[in-house]
Amino acid sequence: MSTEMNAKIEQNQAAIRFSGVSYRLNDVAHRQILRNISLDIHTAEVLVLLGRSGSGKTTLLRLVNRLLLPSDGRVTVAGRPTSDWDAIQLRRGIGYVIQEAGLFPHFTVAQNISLVPGLLGWPTERIAARVSEMLRLVGLEPREFSGRLPRELSGGQRQRVGVARALAADPPILLMDEPFGALDPVTRAELQREFGALAKRLGKTIVFVTHDLREALLLGSRIVLLQSGQIVAAAPPREFLRIDHPEVRAFAASLLAAPGAPL
């Protein structure tokens, strides 16, 4: 399935395309979360969605793997609107990492990582080999960690397993929603650095949500800034801070205010 998605993504330059997408809540007030978003996310880029809480960045992410469907406009993944995709098939081809990892507490590390390959019907030996490969990829020794339960891991280790789990079935697209947000600053910096290097090596299309400008500058090949459900700025990290927009300046100010920020 993911090879089919890979092939389609190679044919189309944009791995993910938002065309005139709006999203309104289905509540009484019909609160508008996203307004008229148009955005191409290219194959193998690391696109960072930056914004304050409530700016709509998580909603944007959840539209990609059809956890949500747009109220207007359409989201296209591998050349096909998400509304045409079978949700289950689509999701199995897209890795997903969230804050606190969301690991299954009753599964061992190995069982967590092998979940999607198992759903896809991989043979057992291939899954076992893949689990070890993924654990090494995220810097955890398979023999030590395979059999552990999530509660026997530190926050940083859990997040590493979360990344390993998302990558296990080799999906062409990876969605990450503030994956390092709940970690202590030292561990966060460590994981950001390692993940930055990993992302370059993997060549996957990555959409990364954060409210941390430092993280965005460090990891993104392009930064898209959201404010009240609209895109207000989009640029590669090098040019981003030069954009003349009040929200960009607000984020830049937060960078200077942060103690010990050397950027």
Partner 1 sequence: MSPVHFFVTHWSEILGATLEHMTLVVIAMLIAIAIGVPLGMLIVRRPAPRSIAMALASVFQTIPSLALFGFLIPIPFLGGIGKRTAVVALVLYALLPILRNTYVGLTGIDPAVLEAAEAMGMTPSQILLRVQLPLALSVILAGIRTATVITIGVATIAAAIGAGGLGTFIFRGVAMVSDAVILAGAVPAAALALLADGFLALLERRLRVS
Contact at 8 Å (CB) between 180 and 192?
Answer: yes
Contact at 8 Å (CB) between 156 and 191?
Answer: yes
Give me the 141-170 binding string for partner 1, x by CB under 8 A, dash otherwise: ----------x-------------x-----
Based on the shown chain and the rule CB under 8 A, indicate whether residue 40 belongs to the binding site for partner 1: no
Residue 62: both structure tokens together: 């959840």
Based on the shown chain and the rule CB under 8 A, indicate whether residue 121 belongs to the binding site for partner 1: no
Based on the shown chain and the rule CB under 8 A, indicate whether residue 238 belongs to the binding site for partner 1: no
Based on the shown chain and the rule CB under 8 A, indicate whether residue 103 belongs to the binding site for partner 1: yes
Which one of the spans 99-107, 186-194, 205-213, 232-240 is the region binding partner 1 (CB under 8 A)?
99-107
Based on the shown chain and the rule CB under 8 A, indicate whether residue 53 belongs to the binding site for partner 1: no
3-state helix, strand, coil in the chain (%, to 5): 40, 25, 35
Q: How many residues in the shown chain lie near partner 1 by CB under 8 A?
A: 26
C-alpha span between 167 and 161 (Å, rounded): 10
Closer to partner 1 by CB, 160 or 214: give it.
160
Which one of the spans 49-57, 93-101, 204-212, 244-252 is the region binding partner 1 (CB under 8 A)?
93-101
DSSP state of 68: S
CB burial class (10 A; 0-12, 13-18, 19+) of residue 53?
exposed
Please identify which residue in 9, 14, 50, 98 interacts with partner 1, judged by CB under 8 A.
Answer: 98
Q: What angle do CA 113, 116, 119 make, to 5 degrees?
A: 135
Closer to partner 1 by CB, 98 or 153: give it.
98
Based on the shown chain and the rule CB under 8 A, indicate whether residue 65 belongs to the binding site for partner 1: yes
Which parts of 190-229 interact with partner 1 (CB under 8 A)?
Answer: none
Please identify which residue in 25, 119, 129, 258 interacts with partner 1, judged by CB under 8 A.
Answer: 119
Please identify which residue in 18, 23, 96, 251 interacts with partner 1, judged by CB under 8 A.
Answer: 96
Paired strand residues for 24: 32
Based on the shown chain and the rule CB under 8 A, indicate whether residue 102 belongs to the binding site for partner 1: yes
Which one of the spans 4-12, 37-45, 84-92, 249-257 is the region binding partner 1 (CB under 8 A)?
84-92
- How far from chain centre, in Å, is Cα 182? 15
Based on the shown chain and the rule CB under 8 A, indicate whether residue 183 belongs to the binding site for partner 1: no
Rounded to 10 deg, the angle between the 155-167 and 124-137 helix axes is 130
Based on the shown chain and the rule CB under 8 A, indicate whether residue 256 belongs to the binding site for partner 1: no
Contact at 8 Å (CB) between 138 and 160?
Answer: yes
Closer to partner 1 by CB, 106 or 242: give it.
106
- φ, ψ of residue 36 to 5 degrees: the values are 45, 60
Based on the shown chain and the rule CB under 8 A, indicate whether residue 248 belongs to the binding site for partner 1: no
CA dihedral defined by 221, 33, 175, 72, rounded to 10 degrees?
-100
Contact at 8 Å (CB) between 47 and 210?
Answer: no
- Which chain residues interact with partner 1 by CB under 8 A? 65, 67, 87-94, 96, 98-106, 115-116, 119, 151, 165, 175
